[in-house]
């Protein structure tokens, strides 16, 4: 019985670690690094203000179908991209995943705009509540908090390293890197001019 308890605890820890890893990968790297800036850009487009006005006029059933179609296509593309990665088609999988990011940003925007209509369906509100509770539970886990602390520390180290590199390469008038780049540029220019003659 004790052995089964230990196995169950280890399996739970592995599941927690996998969930935390995937969530951090999505939230920190994909969402904050790529999708959120696209989402903010999409939300500012003048065209979307007209679309938003149109969405507000649509019946809630049409909005629901549109949202679910976008959501399932985005999630399906993500799963298919993962399948392509596993099959060894890394470049194709990456291209598909990158292509789905603007659609995902539009889907998030659509949810934000039509949230009241979507949450007016009791089953949808229930699913949304469970999803938010699951995310809150995940963020409450010790492994998540430790991972985020480690990630925060790594971010600071990378920023410091980039500052040092930037200072070393681009500070001062007599910068060695810039001098070499200018010399290389001048060499290419002279070489091009010689070929013309």
Q: pLDDT (tens digit, 9 = 90+) per residue, 31-77?
A: 555 666 666 666 666 667 778 888 888 999 999 999 999 999 988 88
| Better pLDDT: 12 or 162 | 162
Q: What is the pLDDT of residue 59?
A: 93
User: Are 67 and 118 contacting, i.e. CB atoms less than 8 angstroms apart?
Assistant: yes
Q: What is the residue-averaged pLDDT of the chain?
A: 76
Q: Is the pTM of this model over 0.75?
A: no
- Distance between CA atoms of 41 and 53, rounded to whole angstroms? 18
User: Are 38 and 101 contacting, i.e. CB atoms less than 8 angstroms apart?
Assistant: yes
Which string of DSSP letters, residue by residue, matches 26-84? Answer: IIIIIIIIIIHHHHHHHHH-HHHHHHHHHHHHS-HHHHHHHHHHHHHHHHHHHHHHHHH
Q: What is the pLDDT of residue 101?
A: 77
Across the range 129-145, mean pLDDT stands at 82
């Amino acid at each position: 019985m004790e052995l089964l308890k230990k196995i169950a605890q280890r399996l739970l820890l592995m599941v927690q670690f996998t969930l935390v890893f995937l969530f951090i990968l999505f939230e920190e790297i994909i969402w904050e690094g790529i999708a959120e800036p696209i989402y903010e850009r999409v939300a500012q487009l003048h065209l979307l203000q007209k679309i938003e006005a149109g969405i507000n006029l649509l019946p809630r059933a049409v909005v629901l179908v549109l949202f679910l179609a976008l959501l399932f296509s985005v999630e399906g593309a993500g799963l298919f991209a993962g399948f392509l990665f596993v099959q060894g088609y890394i470049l194709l999988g990456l291209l598909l995943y990158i292509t789905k990011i603007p659609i995902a940003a539009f889907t998030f925007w659509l949810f934000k705009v039509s949230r009241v209509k979507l949450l007016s369906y009791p089953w949808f509100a229930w699913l949304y509540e469970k999803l938010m509770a699951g995310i809150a539970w995940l963020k409450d886990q010790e492994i998540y908090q430790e991972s985020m602390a480690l990630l925060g520390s790594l971010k600071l180290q990378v920023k410091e390293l980039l500052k040092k590199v930037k200072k070393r390469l681009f500070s001062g008038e007599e910068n060695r890197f810039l001098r070499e780049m200018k010399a290389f540029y001048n060499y290419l220019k002279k070489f091009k001019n010689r070929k013309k003659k």
